[in-house]
Structure 1
């Protein structure tokens, strides 16, 4: 019974079907008919003009998006628990040719204008210190907590006042949007670029970089090629993304994953380390308790000495979710 990661979930049948349908001759790279539809499809979804590039991983999506905003001598401000800091093996420094990450604090891996200012304000405006050029936030955060539209708006206003770009790591953007019950535009707010995640939500191997600053996408097309992410049969990348978007499959899948997490969280409210707002649950759990759960067939990750992380996915089986909720309540 798998609760380690939503990356372990199955590919949605609609995605396989779309990829099979795309298995016909078409123009190479991103000149095919499906890739050419992405800009208009995302523009309609967000209600403003977008330029969209597909890539194969969330790491590439994050780093290429930031490369549009940050020069090699600059810096990105993010939470100290951000994925780009903790789980991308130095990829931001690689893609950004040496740019630095500056780390901010905040509850549940969410930054605020105040915690961002605490990092930025002490930096002198001179050649001897690395200057920030962008802020990166994660929706939903690395602890499964969601930025409300007013929180994103406050950060966007802060970034604009400081002349900084704003990037959103949306590996679980679907889960955040589903939780908020708002439009995608409201969940994203006034960001300059969004890494729109599909792999964790039913896709196979395609993520989208959504540029709301359309001109920024021009340079990144060259960087994508240089990074090895311009696939020659790009229609298969676009097919996955379109299959997830059309008919709202991305949102339905996210709602299913969120509902499974909510059922599990409701069984152990006293153990929760963070509010459960998307599809991740962090809870107190001793080594002996974790061993007891694994003996019953549950797979999940340890999270430090006395905690565990549980992640639900779009295809979580009702029987497995209910069994885990009962097992946790019985500890």
Structure 2
């Protein structure tokens, strides 16, 4: 299954493979239907798109430049394309999505910029290692030159950068004359867990460009590039068009993002997904044969399972990522539509499997 080891089609209520397997929030679907009624100016020159842009300015408490695109890969890669020249290097964590799951798109969109991995605990870049790497081969024409750092919020392990951690990375960027990008594919999940404002988690902490994710949190297919460094905006407009991501019928992206922000839908969806993740983690802690791998305040839970438990769960129809990182390591992701009953059913199944297997070895 495209090199992602997931069980085949899961039984109803047994899907924990990712948050993007969920459907679409009803309010988003209603908004798409509503914006379909009348003809509208294309390419983002419509009133709804203008309204969404203004909403983002209000959300982030300052003027920002907004560019809607349909995918997170486009958002990340376009951001990086205006933050680094082809001879530049972009620092990121080894497990970051831009490094492992975007098929070389950042390098393609930047026309050759190099991704350099900086390791760190809990899938977060180690600040001291970053500072050291940012000083290497400065001015050496034989080496790519440091131009940007990309952090993932929340990370692929479910961990979250605290505001002071973002500030520390930002200081390294400032000292080394680099720009800071945030891959916010799970931006709302991180925001809810930190209980801070969007401004505090981004530009006030030194972030210059943000990929504001929505698809994983109830939207059909819309992401927003948010530029706090507005010197990048003019080039972004041309790069989005050249890359084929300037939608003619932009109102359909804007309608999704507008509905996503209305009535706190984005926060409520993320809060629920996080709560289901914490409920699952709490249940797993009670099973002695399951080892939680790190603390996650979001909706992504990593653990180590006995191979026999993995086999039994797959046989029961559960779908989740497993054995992709190393044998026995599993990832469960809860989503905005995950119910308490689904989580409790999974925990109960694992408890029963554990009891059966303990009986076999008694």
TM-score, normalised on structure 2? 0.89
Query: Does residue 277 of structure 1 match 2:293?
Result: no
- Of 313, 319, 326, which aligns to 2:341? 319
Alignment of 1:174-185 (within 5 A): 174-185=188-199
Partner of 1:5: 18
Shift in Å, 1:113: 1.9
Q: 8 Å contact 1:267–1:329 — kept in the other structure?
A: no
Q: Decide which of 221, 236, 239 is 1:205's aligned counterpart.
A: 221
Q: Tell me the distance in 2 between the aligned counterparts of 1:274 and 1:107.
A: 9
Equivalent residues of 2:217, 2:269 under 8 A apart? yes
96, 111, 133: which one aligns with 2:147: 133
SS at match of 2:47: coil
Q: Distance in 1 between matches of 2:306 and 2:98?
A: 29
Q: Conserved in 2, the CA contact under 8 Å of 1:286 and 1:305? A: no
Matches within 5 A, 1:1-331: 1-23=14-36, 24-188=38-202, 189-269=205-285, 271-302=291-322, 303=324, 304-330=326-352, 331=354
TM-score normalised according to structure 1 size:
0.97
| Aligned partners of 2:284 and 2:292 also within 8 Å | yes
Hey, what's the Cα distance between the residues in 2 that align with 1:161 and 1:119?
13
- Specify the structure having the higher radius of gyration (Cα): 2
C-alpha distance in structure 2 between counterparts of 1:251 and 1:82, whole Å: 24
Determine helix, strand or coil for the equivalent of 2:263: coil
Contact 1:263 1:325 in 2 (8 A): no
Contact 1:30–1:235 (8 Å) recurs in 2? yes
What residue in structure 1 maps to residue 8 of structure 2?
none
Cα deviation, residue 162, structure 1 = 1.1
Provide the rounded CA distance (Å) in 2 between the counterparts of 1:325 and 1:158. Answer: 43
SS at match of 2:106: helix
Distance in 2 separating the partners of 1:35 and 1:103: 36
Q: Is the 8 A contact 1:149 1:187 kept in 2?
A: yes
Cα displacement (A) at 1:312: 0.5
Aligned equivalents of 1:114 and 1:99: distance in 2?
A: 23
Deviations 1:65-96 (A, max 9, x none): 11111001111011111110100000011000
Cα displacement (A) at 1:242: 1.0
Aligned-partner Cα distance in 2 for 1:323–1:186: 38
C-alpha separation between the residues in 2 aligned to 1:226 and 1:322? 48
Q: Secondary structure of the equivalent of 1:248?
A: helix
Q: Aligned partners of 1:38 and 1:162: how far apart in 2?
A: 34
Q: Give secondary structure in 2 for the equivalent of 1:246.
A: helix
CA contact (8 A) 2:134 2:176 kept: no
CA distance, structure 1, for counterparts of residue 321 and residue 306 of structure 2 = 12
Cα RMSD after superposing both structures: 1.2
Structure 1 SS opposite 2:116: strand
Point out where structure 1 has 5 or more consecutive residues left out of the alignment: none
